[in-house]
Amino acid sequence: MPGIDYSERIPNNVDLAGNRRLQRALEDWQPKFLEWWHDMGPVGFQGNEVYLRTAVSVDAQGWAHFDWVRMPEYRWGIFLAEPEASRLINFGDHKGAPAWQDVPGEYRGVLRRLIVTQGDTEPASVEQQRHLGKTCPSLYDLRNLFQVNVEEGRHLWAMVYLLDAHFGRDGREESEALLQRRSGDADKPRILGAFNERTPDWLSYLMFCFFTDRDGKYQLASLAESGFDPLSRTCRFMLTEEAHHMFVGESGVQRVVQRTCELMREHRTDDVRKHGGIDLATIQKYINFHCSVSLDLFGSEVSTNAANFYTMGLKGRFEETKKDDDHRLKDETYTIADVQGDRLVTRPEAALVSLNERLRDDYVADCARGVARWNQVIKQHGIDAELKLPHRAFHRAIGAFADVKVSPDGRIISEAEWDAKHLGWLPTAADQAFVGSLMQGVTEPGKFAGWIAPPPRGINSKPIEFEYVRLP
């Protein structure tokens, strides 16, 4: 049965009670997690009841449970998707062998590193978003923020479970370290770049949910293909949670765009700032920033790490089993983006070392679909403007483009041109101050800040004016 046992101190569907050693390790970690949540989780609102969704089982219907919960009392637990009978390793050198239920000894270090990197992003995002509550544009948005935050907390639990269950003392040490690194801290930063950036305002947050959580979707989907079955099963369940985070991002930015268009039409101007809206030019700059830092999260275009993860059977491609090839890729090539002299080019490269770029391609296509939906809103308002994804080489810090300056439309430019123009491409301190000035908390049920349109419908068929967070 896919049911989750909520009578346990740590809700789970992995029969934790049957593994006393693991249960003790996790019960030892639980108060440390709560201490971290208290210190680094959402600022304020910890005593308020929030209308949250909790998984009651790991099947599709298991998400139907909504209730009032105070965040520190959220039932974080360990939920794995149901096992697939006789699952095999579907790619790499071990293709066709039974999926591993235990860590293959020779891959222990690599697998641990992958799990830790994934796990590290989860608390990082909660840390990045912790100050947003007091400037929420509505109770509806506040509730969505907290839903995302508690689920990122649960994703941390998911990775800690794998570490504690399968990596012994090393795993327990890594579990502790996950609570000790801090987003943006100079001495003990989070592992990946985007997770050390600030999320100072709600526009940044919505962009983060659209662009950075979408990296989560693609990375988790690749790890869900893993030959290490416990990782695959935990990622499969995490993906069901991730979908909501991307909904928050896509629909959130769409509502900002909609409000901007309404103001543009009403006042017959592009400059909606003086009417309390966020102009399309500023929205474009935020897209440029969040897209580029999220593109970095896929790693270098040419990566032996990526080739090894694949050959070892640990991390597959997006929708690996739906692809019609040999799933070993030793003789294949793939077209990747690169720099040659002063030109951006595409060129063939061995498919195995190109797997990061291939995943980035899947990701970019998905982002483009979302941006097209935002552009529909602009078009419906009869406005002649278009939001665009920046060129993938723009503003990169990882990989082939890290050492060149590139414009958002994909031209290699000189340092001098970059210096002269980059303030027009990326959010400036003044842009951030302006967006920051709009961030005034709105907490009256049914009311929305003036820079974002209300959503078309509420959560779980509740009305938009529902009291999604109970304030005193």
The footprint of ligand BYC (CB under 6 A) covers: 114, 117-118, 121-122, 125, 152, 192-193, 212-213, 215-216, 219, 296-300, 303, 305-306, 315, 356, 398
Nearer to ligand BYC, 287 or 306 (CB): 306
Residue that is written with structure tokens 């935990």 in the block: 234
Residue 310 contacts by C-beta under 8 Å, 6 or more apart in sequence? Answer: 91, 92, 316, 317, 329, 352, 355
**Shortest approach of ligand BYC to residue 449 CB, angstroms?**
23
Taking a C-beta distance cutoff of 8 angstroms, is the pair 226, 321 a contact? no
Nearer to ligand BYC, 13 or 219 (CB): 219
From residue 456, give the alpha-carbon distance in Å to each of 259, 283, 289, 367, 447: 13, 21, 28, 22, 13
**Shortest approach of ligand BYC to residue 231 CB, angstroms?**
10
Nearer to ligand BYC, 359 or 449 (CB): 359
**Shortest approach of ligand BYC to residue 343 CB, angstroms?**
22
Taking a C-beta distance cutoff of 8 angstroms, is the pair 256, 451 a contact? yes
Nearer to ligand BYC, 312 or 442 (CB): 312
Q: Tell which residue, 392, 185, 406, has the closest CA to residue 300.
A: 392
DSSP state of 208: I
Cα separation, 108 vs 118, in Å, equals 16
Residue 93 contacts by C-beta under 8 Å, 6 or more apart in sequence? Answer: 311, 312, 313, 328
**Shortest approach of ligand BYC to residue 210 CB, angstroms?**
10
Nearer to ligand BYC, 122 or 361 (CB): 122
Helix (H) or strand (E) holding 469: strand 469-470
**Shortest approach of ligand BYC to residue 305 CB, angstroms?**
3
Nearer to ligand BYC, 13 or 356 (CB): 356
**Shortest approach of ligand BYC to residue 47 CB, angstroms?**
25
**Shortest approach of ligand BYC to residue 296 CB, angstroms?**
4
Residue 194 contacts by C-beta under 8 Å, 6 or more apart in sequence? Answer: 212, 215, 293, 294, 296, 297
461 Ramachandran zone, left/alpha/beta (phi>0; psi -120 to 50): left
DSSP state of 466: S
Nearer to ligand BYC, 109 or 424 (CB): 109
Torsion angle in degrees (nearest 10) through CA of 436, 454, 145, 429: -20
Give the residue at shortest CB distance from ligand BYC.
299
Ramachandran angles phi, psi of 150, nearest 5°: -65, -35
**Shortest approach of ligand BYC to residue 310 CB, angstroms?**
10
Nearer to ligand BYC, 363 or 448 (CB): 363
Cα separation, 215 vs 202, in Å, equals 19
Nearer to ligand BYC, 215 or 229 (CB): 215
**Shortest approach of ligand BYC to residue 115 CB, angstroms?**
8
- How many residues are listed for the chain in this entry? 472
**Shortest approach of ligand BYC to residue 97 CB, angstroms?**
22
**Shortest approach of ligand BYC to residue 460 CB, angstroms?**
23
Taking a C-beta distance cutoff of 8 angstroms, is the pair 196, 189 a contact? yes
Residue 242: both structure tokens together: 């991730």
Cα within 13 Å of Cα(456), Cβ side: 4
The vertex-125 CA angle with 119 and 127, nearest 5°, equals: 110
Nearer to ligand BYC, 81 or 453 (CB): 81
Q: Tell which residue, 7, 79, 92, has the closest CA to residue 307.
A: 92
Cα separation, 438 vs 84, in Å, equals 49
